[in-house]
Structure 1
Amino acid sequence: MVPKVVFGEGCFDQLSTILTSQKQEKAPFIYLVDDTFKNNTQFLDRINLRFNDKLLFVSADEEPKTRQVDEMVKNIKTEFTYLPSGIIGIGGGTVMDLAKAVAIMLNNKGSAADYQGWDLVKKKAVYHVGIPTISGTGAEVSRTTVLTGPVRKLGINSDFTPFDQVVLDPQLTKGVPKNQWFFTGMDCFIHCVESLNGTFLNAFSQSYGEKAYELCLEIFLGDSLSEEESRAKLMMASWHGGMSIAYSQVGVAHAMSYGLGYVLGTKHGVGNCIVFQHLKEFYPKDVALFEQMVAKHNIQIPQGICKDLTSDQMDTMITVALGMVPLWENALGTNWQEVITPEKLKALYLKM
């Protein structure tokens, strides 16, 4: 679990105080910041760079990749004599995952691709802080960092992955474009659905999942919240949803979305929505609620993205999805292969 968290409007300004106790002599803090803030001088002025601290802008246009992590780690080690005092990620899920992965790989040998899987990391990560500027992915609280590697899209899942400190400031999510707000928020909703309907469900994950699910219904189907209340509650839904899957697992939508992401580069939240609309067989009640949310907010979900796939692309997509064994076991139990076959997945993908 994340050991330290602060929450509240404006709490981002506590960052300098938080980092003071972690500063090591001559060792910089490295800030990975979503490049949407590149020209936002008012925001950047609130980041108090000191001495040899470095700010790196990161594009979130594509899903994070293992080679991207490797390149960042190489550049940091080349530029600085000392390991950083810490890595601070400021942005959405892409930046959160990159910050976690870079912090891990600064203290572990090899490529980030070597650690895609469960509990493969041997050494503690460099101190790292997560500051989300959009809510829904749960990346700020989860024990995974999802990366696209040379042969698969899979997280570095380990006890060393979670942030040492998280700063939850709802003010930072102000102005997020509507579509991005929706697709990322639906990532949270689908986390809850897959956790609460999974075979791995336990009292711990259920308590977090139920609260996040309740908040999602209030945010996306209710009419009584102010914008300020909605931002704060979605940030809490993201946190609780992330905690729920940290102690259980996700399911069918995420497994299939990983296939879309690996082959087509589909953004994670969008991919989840593309898949989820076709999963009435598995989550009938919640797909109906999802359809209500889509209609209420007038969201257009991409259609026909798989219609021109080559046979090789389709085979790769199916292989990636089938490789997500813990997700299928959570969704359908240990006999999941009796239900989910390559033919079954192909039929579902062809609907998308």
Structure 2
Amino acid sequence: MNYKNFPMVPRVIFGRGSFNQLNEIIAPKRLSMDAPFIYLVDDVFKSNSWLTSRILLSYDDRIIYISTEEEPKTTQVDNLVEDIILSTKERPSGIIGIGGGSMLDIAKAVAIMLTNEGETKSYQGWDLVKNPGLYHVGIPTLSGTGAEVSRTTVLTGPEKKLGINSDYTPFDQVLLDPELTRSVPREQWFYTGMDCFIHSVESLQGTYLNAFSKSYGEMAFDLCKEVFLNDTDLSKEEAEDKLMMASWHGGMSIVYSQVGIAHAMSYGLSYVLGIKHGIGNCIVFDQLEEFYPKGVALFKAMKKKQGIQLPKGVCTDLNEEQMDAMIDMALRLEPLWENALGKNWRRKISSKQLKQLYLKM
């Protein structure tokens, strides 16, 4: 049997206030005065001097603020790469992504596309990247997506929503500072945390499960229960610390396995309706009792305890063409279905079943 030899993030620093060490961490990686560091920062921090004032720019270093109102697109990455190439004297020393999962995915994709020819859409898939990307650093300001540790980026292209899944995608350095998550709105905190919980459920119940992914999945699962169901409420700091570690473990749990039905179907929601990944996963998972009975029961208990109301009727007004596009997008993600239902998954799920599930959402 051939076992996959996956790369992991080689360097990680964890701790409250560790963001202050960013400059000393990246300084040895500077290639020259004309090779800047490019900071890709979620534009919610544009007026947040508490964070931005601690980014120390030298020489031609530059901050590019990016809106993550919409899911990341391949064309967005292409435009950023062109802008960086035209505005720098030499190839940058590195890309530093600061933000939630969308921002981290954009940073990973930009680092790859600065060293690989062509358009980003050509690299959507598994192991299509030929050259190592630029040195890239991930600094999450949300906990749950696992983007800080995964070997994929989630991008919407002209024809599909699919990541650049490669050995060159993972960050070279990750900085985990739970303090950076302190201003996350409550609903977003829940939706992103549930992304992590769903990672663990889909990994633990998948046919790809092994001792490696199981150990990480169980840790993420237990930490999410502590954060979202604990009757003796944790302090805000404890919850931030635990959820950041849950995110890391949830991401690790799918490195050597895979996600499942909720992710496949939420990709469809995102591709057709532009629904963001975290809330999309929640909308889908809420209807998947048939496939993940225990996980969905726990999810509903967490939703009730946290006072979260999910949007209703998001697929009600879809026309036939939109519904077909959503179903087609979901079914393209074959590894996710195989993990969820086994090698004969096509016999166990149909377009008609998916349509019935979507219409409940």
Superposition TM-score tier, normalisation by shorter sequence: over 0.9
Q: Which runs of 5+ in 2 are unaligned?
A: 1-7
**Residues 1:27 and 2:35 are matched in the alignment:** yes
**Segments of 4+ in structure 1 off by > 4 A?**
none
**Residues 1:97 and 2:66 are matched in the alignment:** no
Aligned-pair identity in percent equals 65
| Corresponding residue of 1:181 | 189
Q: CA deviation at 1:41?
A: 1.8
Structure 1 residues 5-20: aligned runs within 5 Å: 5-20=12-27
Q: CA deviation at 1:74?
A: 0.5
**Residues 1:120 and 2:128 are matched in the alignment:** yes
Q: Distance in 2 between matches of 1:217 and 1:333?
A: 28
**Match of 1:153, SS?**
coil
| Corresponding residue of 1:232 | 241
Q: Distance in 1 between matches of 2:253 and 2:245?
A: 12
Q: CA deviation at 1:175?
A: 1.7
Structure 1 residues 281-296: aligned runs within 5 Å: 281-296=290-305
| Corresponding residue of 1:213 | 221
Q: CA deviation at 1:40?
A: 1.1
Q: Which amino acid aligns with 2:31?
A: Q
Structure 1 residues 245-264: aligned runs within 5 Å: 245-264=254-273
Q: Distance in 2 between matches of 1:314 and 1:275?
A: 15
**Match of 2:213, SS?**
helix
**Match of 2:38, SS?**
strand
| C-alpha distance after superposition, 1:160-183 (max 9, x if no partner) | 000000000000000210000000
Q: Which runs of 5+ in 1 are unaligned?
A: none
| C-alpha distance after superposition, 1:266-309 (max 9, x if no partner) | 00000000000110000001101110011101101011000000
**Match of 1:33, SS?**
strand
Q: Distance in 1 between matches of 2:121 and 2:56?
A: 33
Q: Distance in 1 between matches of 2:271 and 2:57?
A: 36
| Corresponding residue of 2:69 | 61
Q: CA deviation at 1:223?
A: 3.2
TM-score by length of 1: 0.99
Of 158, 167, 185, 1:159 maps to: 167
TM-score by length of 2: 0.97
Q: Which amino acid aligns with 2:20?
A: D
Q: Distance in 2 between matches of 1:289 and 1:107?
A: 44
Q: CA deviation at 1:43?
A: 1.7
Structure 1 residues 261-280: aligned runs within 5 Å: 261-280=270-289
| Corresponding residue of 1:243 | 252
Q: CA deviation at 1:44?
A: 1.0
**Match of 2:106, SS?**
helix
Q: CA deviation at 1:81?
A: 2.5
What is the count of residue pairs matched by the alignment?
352
**Match of 1:154, SS?**
coil
Q: Which amino acid aligns with 1:260?
A: L
**Residues 1:171 and 2:216 are matched in the alignment:** no
Structure 1 residues 66-77: aligned runs within 5 Å: 66-77=74-85
Structure 1 residues 314-325: aligned runs within 5 Å: 314-325=323-334
Q: CA deviation at 1:34?
A: 0.7
Structure 1 residues 46-57: aligned runs within 5 Å: 46-57=54-65
Q: CA deviation at 1:69?
A: 0.1
Q: Which amino acid aligns with 2:24?
A: T
Q: Distance in 1 between matches of 2:206 and 2:112?
A: 30
Q: Which amino acid aligns with 2:236?
A: E
Q: Distance in 2 between matches of 1:45 and 1:258?
A: 36
**Residues 1:349 and 2:358 are matched in the alignment:** yes
Aligned-residue CA RMSD in angstroms? 0.6
Of 321, 338, 341, 1:312 maps to: 321
